[in-house]
Amino acid sequence: MARPLSPVHGPYHRGMRLLLLGAPGSGKGTQATRLAAHFDVAHLSTGELLRDEVARATPLGEKVVSFMLSGELVPDELVEEVIHDRLLAAARAGGYVLDGFPRTVHQAEEAYKIAREAGATVHAVILLDAPDEVLTERLLSRAQGRSDDEPDTIRRRLEVYHAITTPLIDYYRDDRGVLVTVDASQSPDSVYAAILDELPQLVPPVGLEPTPGGF
């Protein structure tokens, strides 16, 4: 059953297209789960999809496992293999929350092509911003634990984020004009409320959308 929406966000129902950008531990998964439920759209996490391939010991899973365990990015072509059809289907259905994808400029360009093919490029990119020390503490104390949450791997994941993924901040802010930054060191509820507060500034109500831009 569809969840009730606040009047402010009601007009976006089933059409919201968001991308969550942020370092490991910034709360991408936590916030994406809530946003996807709120807007009743698909939640696409490349991390979750890749971990599922590893758990099922698929040929793709065998190719990606060593990258994930060492905190390196999985090569773009393998990530695109797992996300392409799902993103296309979600874009055709009208909405999605992307969590942890894209993470390289090449992936961002691919995502744009896929979403544009469906006429459904991203409305807003939310940068979840928090200091590395806060993120490290969260990952070390993650309740359910994850095999890439070892101290050395966390350090490497953060380095990779700063070196390879942060250029996307300029890309979405300056080239596309769709970026908002939220202080992700607040409580999960406060981060969620801050995201919902920011959205009306970037997302036009249904029926008033410009021709595809985004990504």
In the complex with ligand AP5, the residue whose CB is nearer, 76 or 209, is 76
Whole-Å CA distances, 203 to 41, 107, 154, 162: 15, 23, 34, 28
Interface residue with Mg ion among 29, 94, 200, 212 (CB under 5 A) is 29
DSSP letters, 103-163, are -SHHHHHHHHHHHHHTT---SEEEEEE--HHHHHHHHHT-TT--TT-SHHHHHHHHHHIII
129 binds, among ligand AP5, Mg ion, none (CB under 5 to 8 A by kind): none
Each residue 108-137 as x (binds ligand AP5 by CB under 6 A) or -, in order, gives ------------------------------
Sheet bearing 42-45, strands edge to edge: 42-45, 96-99, 17-22, 124-129, 179-183
Q: Examine residue 97 and tell whether it contacts ligand AP5 (CB under 6 A).
A: no
Interface residue with ligand AP5 among 36, 41, 65, 79 (CB under 6 A) is 79
In the complex with ligand AP5, the residue whose CB is nearer, 107 or 121, is 107
In the complex with ligand AP5, the residue whose CB is nearer, 21 or 203, is 21
Using only the alpha carbons of the chain, give its radius of gyration: 17
Q: Examine residue 21 and tell whether it contacts ligand AP5 (CB under 6 A).
A: no
- Residue 28: CB minimum distance to Mg ion, A: 5
Each residue 40-69 as x (binds Mg ion by CB under 5 A) or -, in order, gives -------x----------------------
Beta-carbon contacts of residue 153 (< 8 Å; ≥ 6 apart): 69, 70, 71
In the complex with Mg ion, the residue whose CB is nearer, 68 or 178, is 68
Contact 42, 83 (CB under 8 A): no
- Residue 205: CB minimum distance to Mg ion, A: 30
Half-sphere exposure in the Cβ direction for 179 (13 Å, CA) = 17
**Residues of the shown chain interacting with Mg ion in the complex, contacts defined by CB under 5 A:** 28-29, 47
